[in-house]
Amino acid sequence: MPRRTGGRGNSFDAQKGLDADSDFKDTLTTGLEKAGPPCPLYDGPRFAFCAGCPVDTLRFVEEMARKCIHQMGQFSDYGRLDGNFLLKRLTRLGRNEGISPETKQGARQVLEMIAASQTVDRKTLASARLNLGEMAGALTEYRELAKEQPSESSVLIGYGTALVQSGKEMEGIEIFDRVLSQEPNHRDAWFDKGRAWMKLGKPARAALCFEKLTEIAPESPVAWNNLGVALRSLGRLEQALACYNAALRRNKAYDVAWTNRGTALLALERKHEARRSFERALKYNPSSPAAKEGLRQC
């Protein structure tokens, strides 16, 4: 699941064809008129990394992502690219749950081309592997980094997350506890520890983590949403509903919280209110399958 967004229904906030259109290059560079060195990929104008780089400009839309991977697959000289910057873009791409498995696979191939062609920052590489679902490589990278930097929280959080996503939840929780022993109010550690307990089917322990997170970061809608999910799993519907409402006060466009709110209202047999919640969820995310299904049940 994406780290801070995503998830559908009562869950956390964790397309075919690769042929590029002939005007794809023009589409990417339209409006990007700032002067600078030529783009090594498209020979177009450049800003930040590269104005013509699709990973920078596609906004993670599936159609553009597929074209991005196709175009980059035609480019052989990866040694000329800014590998660390590009890995960060691939990391962001991997966090988007709307991207298809085929596109993620293409992104992983690009990642390996970059890693094989130049020396890149190992933390950046590990993060890209993790977010693109290349767990074996991510675990190897983070394990070595954790030995070298045993007190670096960002390394430990990545390592713990890779362990959890590899089915080693208790080992991951131990890593998160290491971070919390050093930084008791570390947001990501509480967040990821709560997700790990939920994955283990321990919503009561998860609820304690997310409750702590709402104390540390009361402004976070995701913290309130995830606390609501844990409470909903414990059958505490009214309390879960209050948490979803708290999330929505902080972000009224939070479609996941609207869907979760609707699910709780359905369970409370308040169908009219549930319908309105699902309709609001679909307003902000028209493709949400959970909201569509919830609306069908009203």
- The pLDDT assigned to 38 comes to 37
| Predicted confidence (pLDDT) per residue in 141-166, tens digit | 999 999 999 999 999 999 999 999 99
Rg (CA), the chain: 21
Residue 48 has pLDDT above 80, yes or no: no
Residue 7 has pLDDT above 90, yes or no: no
CB-CB contact of 20 with 55 (8 Å): no
| Nearest-angstrom CA–CA distance, 67 and 64 | 5
Residue 228 has pLDDT above 50, yes or no: yes
| Nearest-angstrom CA–CA distance, 113 and 121 | 15
Which of 1-5, 144-148, 207-211 is the least confident region? 1-5
| Nearest-angstrom CA–CA distance, 172 and 1 | 16
- Cβ atoms within 10 Å of 1's Cβ, excluding its own: 15
Say what percent of the chain tops pLDDT 70: 70
Torsion of CA 247, 253, 255, 260, to 10 degrees: 30
Query: Crossing angle for the helix pair 122-131 and 101-117, nearest 10 degrees?
Result: 160
- The pLDDT assigned to 81 comes to 57
Contacts of 177 (CB under 8 A, 6+ apart): 189, 193
| Nearest-angstrom CA–CA distance, 182 and 156 | 11
Under the banding of pLDDT at 50, 70 and 90, the label for residue 42 is very low
| Predicted confidence (pLDDT) per residue in 235-284, tens digit | 999 999 999 999 999 999 999 999 999 999 999 999 999 999 999 999 99
> What would the two tokens of residue 260 be?
């979760």
Say what percent of the chain tops pLDDT 90: 57
- The pLDDT assigned to 97 comes to 63
Whole-structure pTM value: 0.74
Contacts of 287 (CB under 8 A, 6+ apart): none
Q: Return the sign of the alpha-carbon dihedral for residues 227, 232, 238, 242.
A: positive
Under the banding of pLDDT at 50, 70 and 90, the label for residue 66 is low
Residue 294 has pLDDT above 70, yes or no: yes
